Structure 1
Amino acid sequence: MGKTTMADVAKKAGVSKSTVSQFLNERYEYMSPDTRIRIEAAIDELNYQPNYLARSLKQKRTSTVGIIVANIMHQFSTEVSRSVEDYFNKHNMHAIVCNADNDPEKEKKYIEMLRAKQVDGLIIFPTAQNADIYKNMIKEEYPVVFMDRKVPDLQAPTVVSQNIEATYSAIQHFIDNGHERIAIATEPLTISPRIERHEGYKKALHANGIKINPEFQISTSIDKIKKELDRLFQLDAPPTAILAGNDIVFIEVLEFAKEKKLEVGESFALVVFDNIPFAHFVHPPVTTIAQSAYMMGEKAADLLLKQINKEQIDRHEVSFPCELIIRDSSKRLKEK
């Protein structure tokens, strides 16, 4: 037997090919429930497999989107990607996830590859170092949404966390618990979230009349975090509290503390800026700044689909609040 065609389904169901096509494209407005049942039964009985390639050529759409994450190792990136995939799955679309490793050249290759595959749109955690490519996509009105990171001098749909406000809240929490010697540790200040987290840190200290100590501000590559922490704790007056800028920095802080036999929550208080699913299992349970990752992914997917469907959207930044989840790692400073 040859491959089952749409005409075979139409004949079996007693309807026209165009009615079967409308069913496959979920255009049910003028279709009776009985017709839908008969078409669905015919598809099941004949084991009909729609020709998605032919459909995409006809519709000039592939029903596929691309997600280019900066670093797939971050829990936040994983949660956002899952949310985007869930959203498009509900709309009978597929998502391809690529990991750029914070490498602008790799990011460029992925953008070129996905566009060559004619994906309908892209959600990008940008390295912010491919400005010309970003600008060309916007100029061409190619559907794109930037996630987590702002691109300077670019008006485009962007979904971000309220990094400054969230960091301010965490530092204020430290101060309210008696801490004044507060350090912050992030990767290099090359992207907007890290820059904003340092800004929130300094704003909170300034608002509370605490002098900003440049020695307490770490912004270096992951492989040098522990070296910088060692420098901090050799100071005559080391920090009594640390804000770890993301989940990967957090792991370095934990490793440093273990190597130096320091007790988190005792030797120093700790808050982590990131979504860490095991934070309440660590001893002591870790205070975190939780981002609205799943909702952010849904919003980015919604903005992208609106562009794909040629619907009007406001090309502006959408920011989501974070939640400070207080646990034992950031408790009150003990009297010396």
Structure 2
Amino acid sequence: MKTVTITDVAKHAGVSKSTVSQYLNKRYDYMAEKTKKKIEQAIEELGYQPNFLARSLKQKSTTTIGVITANILHVFSTQVIRAIEDFCNQHDFHVIVCNADDDAEKEKKYMDMLRAKQVDGIIIFPTGDNVETYNQMLKENYPIVFVDRYVPGLEVSAILLDNMKASTMAVNEFTRNGYEKIGLILPENPELITPRRERILGYKEAMKANGLTINPEYIQSTEVKNMQQALDTLLALPDPPNAIIAGNDLALYEVLKYTKEKEIHIPKDLGIVAIDDVPFANLYYPAITSIAQPAFEMGTKAAYLLFEKINKQNTSSEEVFRFEPELIVRSSLIESTRNEGKGVVTSEGNN
């Protein structure tokens, strides 16, 4: 079949090629309604499909951005991506989503692939191990924005939660209700991944501020598959913690699975606070006290910043934007408990 061209559409509608081009680019504010309907009808009758490749070459834009997430299984990641997609849809942009699995080599392949496809910019949940590639993009003034993490020494706009404040809120909520022996469980590599590192630091500072002892044995950093064993280790200590802060949503799942298998009752036996308000937190019984991360606002901000860079409106501002956590009190702590039972705090996100 012969490819239908813009010339064919113009001839069929009885208008000029430039008028059809204006219609296709949605520049028809002053176009007569009758003309718009004729072009629309011609496109439908001829089965015309715009040549996006030719248009992108002409406009020097593919109206497409890439998003490389560290781990798409995290609730935080999916919420941020949804916000980015909503923003892009409003601006007639497309989104290509890639999942790096916290693998630097995979992340590098995706960055190369997206640039080969000439996407206009990339939002990255960085592994932190591809500094040379990040730097090369910066030298070329290629639009990039980091989310959830930043890489020290790189001048890249980054969107993050105030992780130290989130940990502080978790510790304070426990101490307010009388819990004093507070531990921490989170995924591996906290020294490399910003939220994990900052949540540990926030936990330590909050413990000191509340006059509580920091027991090194109470801090567990391990692969998700080993968290059941880590919880066994924590709760088998001669003087076990009566509260635990976990690192992300996957840690929360492990904690709740553990309590179910061991028939540990919440909040009678364990108090729980979760950093990031996972969707089931309000449905779980008892409902889980959470510290919410404004993922949708963070995703929207990331997309807005990237569009500024794409449009060369804000190439000099390379700030780290911190978003405020919010405490949502539910039923997973015993109020005014003074050293009664044990407790678990959990912390969720793309971390």
* TM-score normalised to structure 2 length: 0.90
Which residue identity lines up with residue 46 of structure 2 in the other structure?
L
Deviation digits for residues 39-60 of structure 1 (CA, Å, limit 9, x no counterpart)? 3333234332111111112222
Which residue identity lines up with residue 169 of structure 1 in the other structure?
M
**Residue in structure 1 matched with residue 323 of structure 2 by the alignment:** 320
Q: Distance in 2 between matches of 1:281 and 1:272?
A: 14
* 3-state secondary structure, aligned to 2:65: strand
1:134-173, aligned counterparts within 5 Å? 134-173=134-173
**Alignment of 1:5 onto 2:8:** no
Deviation digits for residues 228-278 of structure 1 (CA, Å, limit 9, x no counterpart)? 211111122211122222110011111222232212312121112224111
Specify every segment of 5 or more residues in structure 1 that has no aligned partner in the other structure, as ranges. none
The count of aligned residue pairs is 336
* 3-state secondary structure, aligned to 2:68: strand
* 3-state secondary structure, aligned to 1:284: coil
* 3-state secondary structure, aligned to 1:300: helix
Q: Distance in 2 between matches of 1:33 and 1:98?
A: 41
Shift of 1:33: 4.6
Which residue identity lines up with residue 168 of structure 1 in the other structure?
T
**Residue in structure 2 matched with residue 215 of structure 1 by the alignment:** 217
* 3-state secondary structure, aligned to 1:115: helix
* 3-state secondary structure, aligned to 2:214: coil
RMSD in angstroms over aligned alpha carbons? Answer: 1.8
**Residue in structure 2 matched with residue 52 of structure 1 by the alignment:** 52
Q: Distance in 1 between matches of 2:50 and 2:153?
A: 44
* 3-state secondary structure, aligned to 2:141: coil
**Residue in structure 2 matched with residue 251 of structure 1 by the alignment:** 253
Shift of 1:32: 4.5
**Residue in structure 2 matched with residue 238 of structure 1 by the alignment:** 240
Q: Distance in 2 between matches of 1:8 and 1:202?
A: 70
Which residue identity lines up with residue 219 of structure 1 in the other structure?
S
Q: Distance in 1 between matches of 2:33 and 2:143?
A: 35
* 3-state secondary structure, aligned to 2:67: strand
Please say if residues 148 and 158 of structure 1, whose CA atoms lie closer than 8 Å, have aligned partners that are also in contact.
yes
Q: Percent identity?
A: 51
Q: Distance in 1 between matches of 2:23 and 2:323?
A: 38
Shift of 1:149: 0.4
1:297-312, aligned counterparts within 5 Å? 297-312=299-314
* 3-state secondary structure, aligned to 1:66: strand
Please say if residues 56 and 62 of structure 2, whose CA atoms lie closer than 8 Å, have aligned partners that are also in contact.
yes
Shift of 1:23: 2.0
Which residue identity lines up with residue 171 of structure 1 in the other structure?
V
**Residue in structure 2 matched with residue 112 of structure 1 by the alignment:** 112
Shift of 1:29: 5.2
Of the candidates 193, 196, 199, which is equivalent to residue 194 of structure 1? 196
* 3-state secondary structure, aligned to 1:128: coil
Please say if residues 123 and 144 of structure 2, whose CA atoms lie closer than 8 Å, have aligned partners that are also in contact.
yes
Q: Which moved more, 1:169-178 or 1:223-232?
A: 223-232
* TM-score normalised to structure 1 length: 0.94
Q: Which moved more, 1:3-12 or 1:144-153?
A: 3-12
**Residue in structure 2 matched with residue 131 of structure 1 by the alignment:** 131
**Residue in structure 2 matched with residue 23 of structure 1 by the alignment:** 23
Please say if residues 181 and 213 of structure 2, whose CA atoms lie closer than 8 Å, have aligned partners that are also in contact.
no
Specify every segment of 5 or more residues in structure 2 that has no aligned partner in the other structure, as ranges. 341-351
Please say if residues 179 and 337 of structure 2, whose CA atoms lie closer than 8 Å, have aligned partners that are also in contact.
no
**Residue in structure 2 matched with residue 286 of structure 1 by the alignment:** 288
Q: Which moved more, 1:27-36 or 1:119-128?
A: 27-36
Q: Distance in 2 between matches of 1:7 and 1:84?
A: 36
**Residue in structure 2 matched with residue 67 of structure 1 by the alignment:** 67
Shift of 1:10: 2.0
Please say if residues 273 and 291 of structure 2, whose CA atoms lie closer than 8 Å, have aligned partners that are also in contact.
yes
Q: Distance in 1 between matches of 2:336 and 2:218?
A: 18
Q: Distance in 1 between matches of 2:312 and 2:21?
A: 22
**Residue in structure 2 matched with residue 270 of structure 1 by the alignment:** 272
* 3-state secondary structure, aligned to 1:330: coil
* 3-state secondary structure, aligned to 1:271: strand
Q: Which runs of 4+ in 1 moved over 4 A?
A: none
Q: Which moved more, 1:174-183 or 1:42-51?
A: 42-51
**Alignment of 1:82 onto 2:82:** yes
Shift of 1:15: 2.8
Please say if residues 244 and 270 of structure 1, whose CA atoms lie closer than 8 Å, have aligned partners that are also in contact.
no
